[in-house]
Amino acid sequence: MSRRPLIAGNWKMNTTRNDALALASALTDADLPQNVDVAVFPPSIWIEAVRRALGQDIHLGAQDCSAEVKGAFTGQVAAVQLRELCDMVIVGHSERRRDAYESDELVGRKAAAALAAGLTPIACVGESLEVREAGEAENVVGSQVDAIVQAIGDVPASEFVLAYEPIWAIGTGRSASSEDAQSMCAFIRSRIGAGGPDVRILYGGSVVPDNAGAYLAQADVDGLLVGGASLKADQFLAIVAAC
Ligand code: 13P
Protein backbone atom coordinates (compact mmCIF):
# COMPACT_ATOMS: atom_id res chain seq x y z
CA MET A 1 0.00 0.00 0.00
CA SER A 2 1.40 3.34 -0.94
CA ARG A 3 -0.52 6.54 -0.64
CA ARG A 4 0.81 9.39 -2.73
CA PRO A 5 1.20 12.58 -0.69
CA LEU A 6 -1.16 15.45 -1.51
CA ILE A 7 -0.47 19.07 -0.67
CA ALA A 8 -3.58 21.20 -1.17
CA GLY A 9 -3.79 24.98 -0.98
CA ASN A 10 -7.17 26.40 0.03
CA TRP A 11 -7.10 30.06 -0.95
CA LYS A 12 -10.48 30.65 0.76
CA MET A 13 -12.02 34.08 -0.07
CA ASN A 14 -8.65 35.64 -0.82
CA THR A 15 -6.89 36.89 -3.98
CA THR A 16 -7.84 39.38 -6.62
CA ARG A 17 -7.89 37.98 -10.13
CA ASN A 18 -4.35 39.26 -10.63
CA ASP A 19 -3.18 37.78 -7.32
CA ALA A 20 -4.66 34.43 -8.30
CA LEU A 21 -2.97 34.47 -11.69
CA ALA A 22 0.38 35.48 -10.19
CA LEU A 23 0.16 32.70 -7.61
CA ALA A 24 -0.77 30.15 -10.28
CA SER A 25 2.12 31.27 -12.48
CA ALA A 26 4.62 31.09 -9.62
CA LEU A 27 3.57 27.51 -8.86
CA THR A 28 3.64 26.58 -12.54
CA ASP A 29 7.15 27.96 -12.96
CA ALA A 30 8.47 26.02 -9.96
CA ASP A 31 10.20 22.66 -10.17
CA LEU A 32 7.71 20.43 -8.38
CA PRO A 33 8.82 17.07 -6.98
CA GLN A 34 7.52 14.04 -8.90
CA ASN A 35 6.42 12.08 -5.83
CA VAL A 36 3.67 14.43 -4.66
CA ASP A 37 0.28 15.65 -5.87
CA VAL A 38 -0.17 19.40 -5.63
CA ALA A 39 -3.61 21.02 -5.77
CA VAL A 40 -4.94 24.57 -5.48
CA PHE A 41 -8.45 25.72 -4.62
CA PRO A 42 -8.99 29.33 -5.73
CA PRO A 43 -12.25 31.24 -5.25
CA SER A 44 -14.64 29.67 -7.78
CA ILE A 45 -14.89 32.87 -9.81
CA TRP A 46 -11.17 32.59 -10.67
CA ILE A 47 -11.06 28.85 -11.42
CA GLU A 48 -11.31 29.24 -15.18
CA ALA A 49 -8.58 31.91 -15.32
CA VAL A 50 -6.34 29.95 -12.96
CA ARG A 51 -6.84 26.86 -15.08
CA ARG A 52 -5.35 28.66 -18.07
CA ALA A 53 -2.35 29.83 -16.04
CA LEU A 54 -1.70 26.55 -14.27
CA GLY A 55 0.65 23.78 -15.38
CA GLN A 56 -0.91 20.45 -16.33
CA ASP A 57 0.66 18.67 -13.39
CA ILE A 58 -1.08 20.79 -10.73
CA HIS A 59 -4.57 19.76 -9.69
CA LEU A 60 -7.29 22.39 -9.51
CA GLY A 61 -10.43 22.44 -7.43
CA ALA A 62 -13.34 24.40 -5.98
CA GLN A 63 -13.94 25.13 -2.30
CA ASP A 64 -17.50 23.78 -2.29
CA CYS A 65 -20.14 22.25 -4.55
CA SER A 66 -23.86 21.73 -4.42
CA ALA A 67 -25.31 18.40 -3.34
CA GLU A 68 -27.87 18.84 -6.13
CA VAL A 69 -27.31 18.02 -9.79
CA LYS A 70 -29.13 20.97 -11.43
CA GLY A 71 -32.12 23.22 -11.15
CA ALA A 72 -33.50 26.03 -9.01
CA PHE A 73 -30.67 26.41 -6.49
CA THR A 74 -29.71 30.07 -6.69
CA GLY A 75 -26.08 30.78 -5.98
CA GLN A 76 -25.00 27.16 -5.93
CA VAL A 77 -22.62 25.47 -8.35
CA ALA A 78 -23.11 21.84 -9.35
CA ALA A 79 -20.30 19.31 -9.28
CA VAL A 80 -20.93 18.49 -12.95
CA GLN A 81 -20.46 22.18 -13.81
CA LEU A 82 -17.19 22.28 -11.88
CA ARG A 83 -16.03 19.13 -13.63
CA GLU A 84 -15.84 21.12 -16.88
CA LEU A 85 -13.12 23.25 -15.26
CA CYS A 86 -11.36 21.28 -12.55
CA ASP A 87 -10.85 17.84 -11.03
CA MET A 88 -11.22 18.25 -7.25
CA VAL A 89 -13.51 19.92 -4.71
CA ILE A 90 -13.37 20.60 -0.98
CA VAL A 91 -16.59 19.75 0.85
CA GLY A 92 -17.58 20.21 4.48
CA HIS A 93 -14.94 22.76 5.40
CA SER A 94 -15.60 23.91 8.97
CA GLU A 95 -16.10 27.47 7.72
CA ARG A 96 -19.03 26.23 5.62
CA ARG A 97 -20.35 24.05 8.43
CA ARG A 98 -20.23 27.21 10.59
CA ASP A 99 -21.34 29.92 8.13
CA ALA A 100 -23.71 27.98 5.89
CA TYR A 101 -24.96 25.63 8.63
CA GLU A 102 -23.93 22.55 6.69
CA SER A 103 -24.86 19.33 8.48
CA ASP A 104 -22.92 16.05 8.46
CA GLU A 105 -25.64 14.61 6.23
CA LEU A 106 -25.37 17.45 3.68
CA VAL A 107 -21.57 17.18 3.60
CA GLY A 108 -21.95 13.45 2.85
CA ARG A 109 -24.34 14.23 -0.02
CA LYS A 110 -21.91 16.80 -1.42
CA ALA A 111 -19.08 14.26 -1.35
CA ALA A 112 -21.32 11.76 -3.16
CA ALA A 113 -22.35 14.38 -5.76
CA ALA A 114 -18.69 15.22 -6.38
CA LEU A 115 -17.77 11.58 -6.91
CA ALA A 116 -20.77 11.01 -9.20
CA ALA A 117 -19.58 13.95 -11.33
CA GLY A 118 -16.03 12.62 -11.57
CA LEU A 119 -14.46 15.05 -9.10
CA THR A 120 -12.21 13.96 -6.25
CA PRO A 121 -13.70 15.34 -3.04
CA ILE A 122 -11.60 16.40 -0.08
CA ALA A 123 -14.16 15.98 2.70
CA CYS A 124 -13.25 17.89 5.86
CA VAL A 125 -13.89 16.84 9.44
CA GLY A 126 -12.74 18.29 12.74
CA GLU A 127 -13.81 19.22 16.24
CA SER A 128 -14.14 22.51 18.11
CA LEU A 129 -11.97 23.36 21.12
CA GLU A 130 -14.96 22.92 23.39
CA VAL A 131 -15.53 19.40 22.08
CA ARG A 132 -11.84 18.50 22.42
CA GLU A 133 -11.66 19.78 25.97
CA ALA A 134 -14.77 17.77 26.84
CA GLY A 135 -12.98 14.62 25.61
CA GLU A 136 -15.51 14.20 22.79
CA ALA A 137 -13.26 14.79 19.77
CA GLU A 138 -13.34 11.18 18.52
CA ASN A 139 -17.11 10.95 18.97
CA VAL A 140 -17.74 14.08 16.93
CA VAL A 141 -15.17 13.35 14.23
CA GLY A 142 -16.31 9.72 14.10
CA SER A 143 -19.90 10.81 13.34
CA GLN A 144 -18.70 13.20 10.65
CA VAL A 145 -16.69 10.39 9.02
CA ASP A 146 -19.62 7.94 9.27
CA ALA A 147 -21.93 10.38 7.44
CA ILE A 148 -19.44 10.76 4.58
CA VAL A 149 -18.71 7.03 4.28
CA GLN A 150 -22.40 6.17 4.38
CA ALA A 151 -23.29 8.73 1.70
CA ILE A 152 -20.62 7.66 -0.76
CA GLY A 153 -21.42 3.96 -0.49
CA ASP A 154 -19.03 1.54 -2.13
CA VAL A 155 -16.88 4.03 -4.08
CA PRO A 156 -13.27 2.78 -3.89
CA ALA A 157 -11.46 4.49 -1.05
CA SER A 158 -8.66 5.63 -3.34
CA GLU A 159 -11.11 7.99 -5.11
CA PHE A 160 -11.76 10.34 -2.22
CA VAL A 161 -9.71 12.23 0.33
CA LEU A 162 -10.47 13.18 3.92
CA ALA A 163 -8.97 16.13 5.75
CA TYR A 164 -8.73 16.39 9.52
CA GLU A 165 -8.89 20.08 10.38
CA PRO A 166 -9.42 20.78 14.09
CA ILE A 167 -11.39 24.03 14.18
CA TRP A 168 -9.21 25.46 16.95
CA ALA A 169 -6.12 25.12 14.76
CA ILE A 170 -7.50 26.88 11.67
CA GLY A 171 -6.07 30.35 11.10
CA THR A 172 -5.08 30.61 14.75
CA GLY A 173 -1.38 29.82 14.62
CA ARG A 174 -2.16 27.15 17.21
CA SER A 175 -1.41 24.03 15.19
CA ALA A 176 -2.19 20.57 16.51
CA SER A 177 0.84 18.63 17.71
CA SER A 178 2.02 16.09 15.16
CA GLU A 179 1.14 13.34 17.69
CA ASP A 180 -2.45 14.62 18.00
CA ALA A 181 -2.73 14.86 14.22
CA GLN A 182 -1.40 11.30 13.82
CA SER A 183 -3.67 9.94 16.49
CA MET A 184 -6.83 11.45 14.97
CA CYS A 185 -5.85 10.53 11.40
CA ALA A 186 -5.26 6.92 12.54
CA PHE A 187 -8.65 6.96 14.27
CA ILE A 188 -10.33 8.28 11.09
CA ARG A 189 -8.63 5.56 9.02
CA SER A 190 -9.85 2.83 11.34
CA ARG A 191 -13.34 4.32 11.34
CA ILE A 192 -13.53 4.09 7.53
CA GLY A 193 -13.28 0.32 7.75
CA ALA A 194 -12.12 -1.93 4.91
CA GLY A 195 -11.12 0.94 2.58
CA GLY A 196 -9.18 2.72 5.32
CA PRO A 197 -5.70 1.75 4.14
CA ASP A 198 -6.38 3.25 0.68
CA VAL A 199 -7.83 6.62 1.72
CA ARG A 200 -5.59 9.64 1.76
CA ILE A 201 -6.04 11.61 4.97
CA LEU A 202 -4.69 15.15 5.22
CA TYR A 203 -4.03 17.34 8.23
CA GLY A 204 -4.95 21.04 8.11
CA GLY A 205 -4.71 23.89 10.59
CA SER A 206 -1.92 26.48 10.81
CA VAL A 207 0.44 24.47 8.62
CA VAL A 208 3.61 26.42 7.77
CA PRO A 209 6.95 25.39 6.27
CA ASP A 210 8.44 24.89 9.74
CA ASN A 211 5.90 22.32 10.94
CA ALA A 212 5.00 20.60 7.64
CA GLY A 213 7.73 17.95 7.83
CA ALA A 214 6.67 16.81 11.29
CA TYR A 215 3.11 16.12 10.12
CA LEU A 216 4.24 14.42 6.92
CA ALA A 217 6.49 12.09 8.93
CA GLN A 218 3.43 10.60 10.65
CA ALA A 219 2.28 7.20 9.39
CA ASP A 220 -1.36 8.17 8.88
CA VAL A 221 -0.92 11.74 7.63
CA ASP A 222 -0.84 11.57 3.83
CA GLY A 223 -0.66 15.26 3.09
CA LEU A 224 -1.68 18.73 4.15
CA LEU A 225 -4.55 21.14 3.55
CA VAL A 226 -2.98 24.57 3.79
CA GLY A 227 -4.82 27.88 4.21
CA GLY A 228 -2.85 31.06 4.92
CA ALA A 229 0.53 29.70 3.87
CA SER A 230 -0.85 28.66 0.47
CA LEU A 231 -1.29 32.32 -0.46
CA LYS A 232 2.46 32.88 -0.60
CA ALA A 233 4.10 30.86 -3.37
CA ASP A 234 7.44 30.53 -1.55
CA GLN A 235 5.79 29.20 1.62
CA PHE A 236 3.50 26.81 -0.25
CA LEU A 237 6.41 25.51 -2.30
CA ALA A 238 8.47 25.02 0.86
CA ILE A 239 5.60 22.92 2.27
CA VAL A 240 5.48 20.89 -0.96
CA ALA A 241 9.24 20.37 -0.69
CA ALA A 242 8.79 18.90 2.80
CA CYS A 243 7.18 15.77 1.26
P1 13P B 1 -4.81 27.81 7.92
O2 13P B 1 -3.68 27.03 7.28
O3 13P B 1 -4.82 29.25 7.54
O4 13P B 1 -4.88 27.57 9.39
O5 13P B 1 -6.17 27.21 7.29
C6 13P B 1 -6.37 25.84 7.29
C7 13P B 1 -7.57 25.55 6.48
O8 13P B 1 -8.68 25.83 6.89
C9 13P B 1 -7.36 24.93 5.16
O10 13P B 1 -8.57 24.48 4.62
Query: By three-state DSSP, how is residue 201 classified?
Result: strand
93 is catalytic: yes
Query: By three-state DSSP, how is residue 50 classified?
Result: helix
Distances (CA, A) of 214 to 11, 106, 132: 23, 33, 22
- Cβ contacts of 138-143, under 8 Å, gap ≥ 24: 138/184, 138/187, 141/184, 141/187, 141/188, 142/187, 142/191, 143/104
Distance 9 CA to ligand 1 centre (A): 8
Given the residues 130, 133, 165, 179, the one annotated as active site: 165
| pTM > 0.95: yes or no | yes
Distance 207 CA to ligand 1 centre (A): 7
Residues with CB under 6 A from ligand 1: 10, 93, 165, 170-171, 204-207, 225-229
pLDDT reported for residue 56 = 83
Domains in the chain (CATH in brackets) are 6-241 (3.20.20.70)
Asked whether residue 10 carries a pLDDT value surpassing 90, the answer given is: yes
Asked whether residue 205 carries a pLDDT value surpassing 60, the answer given is: yes
Given the residues 59, 93, 95, 127, the one annotated as active site: 93
For residue range 123-153, what is the model confidence (pLDDT) as tens digits?
A: 999 999 999 999 999 999 999 999 999 999 9
Q: Predicted confidence band at 1 (pLDDT cuts at 50, 70, 90)?
A: low
For residue range 88-115, what is the model confidence (pLDDT) as tens digits?
A: 999 999 999 999 999 999 999 999 999 9
- A 10 A CB-CB count for 192 gives 19
Q: How far apart are CA 242 and CA 239, in angstroms?
A: 5
Contacts of 140 (CB under 8 A, 6+ apart): 127, 131
